[in-house]
């Protein structure tokens, strides 16, 4: 059972126990009789669980970075917050959209459920995090480490590698600044490594995503685009970062916004 499904179940269970007691059992109890322990627990936990469910479903959800595919933007061990209302308000578990609040833009870092193929239907949903490269209608090409959008190359500049990436990035990788979206962002590339190249047109209701660690990312180049209904939210804030090799908390990463 997924965490949202478990939360919905607990809200329904504790709420039902509390309601049944108020309607049928409480009126029959003597004033001096104690409330049953089960009812006491249900009454105490119902508002807490409901609050957590509302916050996680409609406001913000925590997410842990499990891999290096988004280096240098996000490191393994980063704990981030995901804006749940950036791309529409959705019902928990059902994921059906109640109303629109916005759409992903090129350069957004998004969390989404992996678009499972027919052979993956019996596997649990897995959340991925990548950067939006192409929106509906875009013709996306990727050649010689460069993104092409509707035939136009996205500019890059080689930068001096940051000291904190020395032990995180693959040997020989280059740090570059890519001018995608409004602000641009850093990426890592391995000039000697060749991965999938080609061109595709992004269909309506779909998004083409890539990892910032371009040569160490499992993304739309391999399994295709992300359907709009798979969107979870927009990553916006690092609230904790943990690295055993650094002795625990990486203090200089706390509080960083995600661009």
List of residues 6+ apart from 209 with CB closer than 8 A: 110, 112, 128, 130, 131, 132, 133, 219, 220, 225, 226
Q: Please report, in angstroms and rounded to a whole number, the separation of the first and last CA atoms in the chain.
A: 33
Burial class (CB in 10 A: 0-12, 13-18, 19+), 247: exposed
- Using the Cα atoms of residue 132, residue 72, residue 114 and residue 93 in order, give the sign of their dihedral: negative
Contact 158, 174 (CB under 8 A): yes
Spatial distance between the Cα atoms of 219 and 131, rounded to a whole number of angstroms: 10
Q: What DSSP string runs through 65-124?
A: --SSTTTTTS-TTEEEEEETTTT-EE-TTT--EEE------TT-EEEEE----GGGTTSP
For the beta carbon of residue 82, count every other beta carbon within 10 angstroms.
Answer: 23
> Contact at 8 Å (CB) between 115 and 224?
yes
Q: Of 84, 130, 145, 234, which one is the catalytic site residue?
A: 130
Q: How many residues are listed for the chain in this entry?
A: 259
Interior CA angle at 66 toward 187 and 2, to 5°? 130
Interatomic CA distance for residues 150 and 83, integer angstroms: 29
Is 130 labeled as catalytic in the residue annotation? yes
Q: Which of 57, 68, 69, 220 is catalytic?
A: 69
Catalogue the active-site residues.
Answer: 69, 130
């Amino acid at each position: 059972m997924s965490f949202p499904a478990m939360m919905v179940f607990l809200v329904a269970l504790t709420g039902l126990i509390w309601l049944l007691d108020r309607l049928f059992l409480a009126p029959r109890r003597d004033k001096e009789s104690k409330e049953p322990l089960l009812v006491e627990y249900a009454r105490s936990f119902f508002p807490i669980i409901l609050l957590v469910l509302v916050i996680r479903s409609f406001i913000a959800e925590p997410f842990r970075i499990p891999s290096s595919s988004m280096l240098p933007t996000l490191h393994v061990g980063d704990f981030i917050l995901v804006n749940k209302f950036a791309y529409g308000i959705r019902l928990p578990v059902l994921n059906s959209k109640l109303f629109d609040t916005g759409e992903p833009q090129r350069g957004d870092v998004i969390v989404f459920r992996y678009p499972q193929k027919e052979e993956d239907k019996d596997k649990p949903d897995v959340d991925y995090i990548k950067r939006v490269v192409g929106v509906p209608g875009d013709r996306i090409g990727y050649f010689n480490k460069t993104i092409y959008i509707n035939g136009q190359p996205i500019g890059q500049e080689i930068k001096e590698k940051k000291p904190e990436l020395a032990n995180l990035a693959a040997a020989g990788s280059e740090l570059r600044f890519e001018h995608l979206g409004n602000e641009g962002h850093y990426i890592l590339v391995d000039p000697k490594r060749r991965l999938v190249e080609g061109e595709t047109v992004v269909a309506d209701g779909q998004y083409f995503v890539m990892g910032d660690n371009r040569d160490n990312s499992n993304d739309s180049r391999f399994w295709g685009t992300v359907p709009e209904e798979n969107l979870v939210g927009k990553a916006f804030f690092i609230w904790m970062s943990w690295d055993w090799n650094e002795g625990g908390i990486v203090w200089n990463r706390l509080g960083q916004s995600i661009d």
